[in-house]
Amino acid sequence: MIAIGEYEQYDGLGLAELVRRKEVTALELVEAAIDRIETHNPTINAVVHTMYDIAHEQAEGGTGDGPFAGVPMLLKDLLAGCAGQPLRNGSRFFRDHVPERDSELVRRYRDAGLIVLGKTNTPELGITGVTEPVLFGPTNNPWDPSLTAGGSSGGSAAAVAARLVPIAHAGDGAGSIRIPAACCGLFGLKPTRGRTPGSTPYALWQDLVVEHALTRTVRDSAALLDATAGPSPGTATSPPPPKQPFLEHVGAPPGRLRIAVTEGSLLGRRIHPDCERAVAEAAQLLGELGHDVVPATLEHIQWQAFAEAFVVMLCGEIRAEIQQAEAKTGRKASFADFEVVTNALGLLGQQHSAGDFVLAMRTMQQVGRDIILYFEKHRIDALLTTTVASPPVKTGTVLPSGLQAIGLEWLARLRLGGIMRLAGVDRQAAADSFEFAPNTAPFNLTGQPAMSVPLAWTDDGLPIGLQFVGRFAAEATLFRLAAQLEEARPWAARRPRLS
Rg (CA), the chain: 21
Choose, from 103, 152, 221, 433, the residue flagged as catalytic.
Answer: 152
Do the beta carbons of residue 259 and residue 286 sit within 8 Å? yes
Q: What is the largest CA-CA distance in the chain?
A: 66
Q: Which residues on adjacent β-strands are paired with residue 19? A: none
Q: Please count the CA atoms within 13 angstroms of the CA of 310 that sit on its side-chain side.
A: 28
Which amino acid makes up residue 74? L
Distance of alpha carbon 387 from alpha carbon 242, whole angstroms: 26
Task: Give the rounded distance of the alpha carbon of 16 from its chain centre.
Answer: 24
Distance of alpha carbon 107 from alpha carbon 114, whole angstroms: 10
Choose, from 76, 265, 433, 452, the residue flagged as catalytic.
Answer: 76
Do the beta carbons of residue 132 and residue 123 sit within 8 Å? yes
Shortest CA distance to 408 belongs to which of 345, 347, 340, 312? 340
Query: CA distances (Å), 180 to each of 11, 148, 388, in order?
Result: 19, 9, 9
Active-site annotation holds for 176: yes
Choose, from 91, 103, 156, 176, the residue flagged as catalytic.
Answer: 176
Which amino acid makes up residue 43? T
Q: Is 106 helix (H, G, I), strand (E, B) or coil?
A: helix
Phi first, then psi, for residue 483 (nearest 5°) are -65, -35
Active-site annotation holds for 377: no
Do the beta carbons of residue 467 and residue 386 sit within 8 Å? yes
Distance of alpha carbon 152 from alpha carbon 131, whole angstroms: 6
Do the beta carbons of residue 48 and residue 90 sit within 8 Å? no
Active-site annotation holds for 152: yes
Distance of alpha carbon 119 from alpha carbon 128, whole angstroms: 18
Angle formed by the axes of helices 340-351 and 303-329, nearest 10°: 100
Catalytic residues: 76, 152, 176
